[in-house]
Chain A
């Protein structure tokens, strides 16, 4: 009580200043999105995180003043964000279904182009302590086994692989994305999990990968499109062209992606 300003006039001023500061703060954050020379916002599927980080940095270095902001999440969620009006300029998805949602809602400004493929692999802790050899090991109750949730592309591809292999998996966890599964594999907490080949390459030795034969494997398709129902970002087409260029393809190949 003793610290209270005895002059009521002062008190009123300070409350008004507080309200003013709050409003200014809200206005500033609401405005920044529509500034001239705004960064290029690229929404990329979780499995593209490493490759697109490198692609974005390379693209920025092609000309001064370019800024690329990556928005990485599950493809389904990214599509949802775009349909709900998120200010996104380019969308790179891990499946056709997610980008189709964006096309159907009229948010895609260009043709959809397939820029990469991926296949599935079995990830295991370094040295494969549980001696996992194939998808048929995924019905061993003694092991701790994982896959992605069926709702995200890496999970639906895993489900397809299990059914091609004729296996009913006894899973101990369905992770929200492949990255979470890679962490648990690297720690040795999960004995085996179905992930992308690109996750094995991207983990750089933190986990080992076991090939799934083509007869049991599925091929993931990565499409890309420029986003914007009214006008597009001036650099959006250039970024997509860069992803499709020889330089872009080299980056994708180095992360374990197959190229169309």
Chain B
């Protein structure tokens, strides 16, 4: 099985979309491409688990390594472990859902679907890369589509939000670039596998870790680099919001994880800073959400809080917390995409996202309201949904860290869940329950494509929520391998 397919299929889809005529052809091609990707991801999962069951314990499976720029020792080196595979599955689900909810996008539909597919290609390429150069390449490939998607199809102050997002993400990738150069000039390779084997001198780690980690942190909405998140998400069209929160922010989290694994000494040295920033993000995000009146802003700010858990899990540097971070990435991706999808469906019918102007939607659109409630419950961490599993794992991991300052951070982060419950229940209560206004009473419920998208995402949430051992089974060997490797490095010092 060649992983390059994951890049080639979006590429082919994008070209076909350019050649297609009319909305019908374009969206069918887009959906077909996305479904094929979902199929490939499913097939990858199956053969990955089969190989693992057969006793193949290499860190990365489906590896392939070709020289790209020989003179500079840059390789096109791809391969996946359980974490990358989980991310690929997440991406493929969100892309299908995103294309389904944009089914009736009539404004410049060709460009719209083209950019969505291009964005997904960047994400796939990013997750399969084992060479830091290609990783960086795909990270930046995914930035421009976001800028155009928000700026052209967005709402509100869209050009300003698009500009802000693009510049902040570019600044993030500039930091990443400096970090990667530092690694390159001290190891003479971009290859993550080789770098892990030969190690990076501690002094180099200490200097370059902040660049790389904070650079990816910008993508992951780490405090104080989170300011692009609310405006960007709120202005973006529905599918772009889903991609942004569901996929793009995960590029950051995944990047942070890989950087921490590559530079274990520095990760240990700086872990208190990482944890402090993550805790601030969690609490600040939660309280900022309380003040919001626009549904999209509510979800955007809550994303800052939720992504804080990812960084917290990485910063705690133990097996359980790392696992939690990965599950939180998947869970938050699915949940937030579902949330944005539901908000988009509500907005396209009522033409408002203000909580105060909504009410009693359950009577007019039961399906959409149910989706909204499910997303909300998942967000506040109700057992049975993925959010509970993810946050619980992060907390359990964090608590294993015996230092009292870390325990304090854990308790603070845990307390934020109460705040989450407040804003989620308040928004749900006002918008979904209660009396409905006359003009909203006549609005219709979800169409088939919206239902399909929602069901797909909810299925993902429930699988993780009800059978957490499945995803644990997938990612645990990989996080174990990372932590063992990091532990070895630390012990040998």
Q: Do A and B belong to a common assembly? A: no
Give B contacts to A, CB under 8 Å.
Answer: none
Give A contacts to B, CB under 8 Å.
Answer: none
